[in-house]
């Protein structure tokens, strides 16, 4: 049998990594999905920046 030892610091780092991934994943996926939808709809980054500039004037 193989026994593995995780000290509290290593366990805490693993838990922190899992929590960070769970928090960051929706933001990453949201931007990727939006980018994919923009490509499907035929929009590009230049059109978005022009829309933003015209709305702030």
- Give the Cα separation of 36 and 40 in Å (integer): 6
CB 11 within 8 A of CB 19: no
Q: Quick one: tokens of 23?
A: 């928090």
What does the pLDDT read at residue 13?
94
Task: Summarize pLDDT for 10-54 with one digit per residue, the tens.
Answer: 889 999 999 999 999 999 889 888 888 888 888 765 555 566 566
What does the pLDDT read at residue 55?
61
Query: How far, in Å, are 25, 41, 47, 49, 57 from residue 36 at the CA level?
Result: 16, 9, 15, 17, 29
CB 38 within 8 A of CB 44: yes
What does the pLDDT read at residue 31?
87
Q: Quick one: tokens of 3?
A: 């026994």
């Amino acid at each position: 049998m193989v026994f593995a030892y995780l000290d509290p610091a290593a366990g805490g780092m693993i838990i922190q990594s899992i929590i960070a991934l769970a928090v960051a994943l929706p933001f990453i996926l949201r931007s990727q999905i939006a980018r994919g939808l923009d490509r499907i709809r035929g929009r590009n980054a230049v059109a978005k920046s022009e829309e933003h500039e015209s709305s702030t004037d």
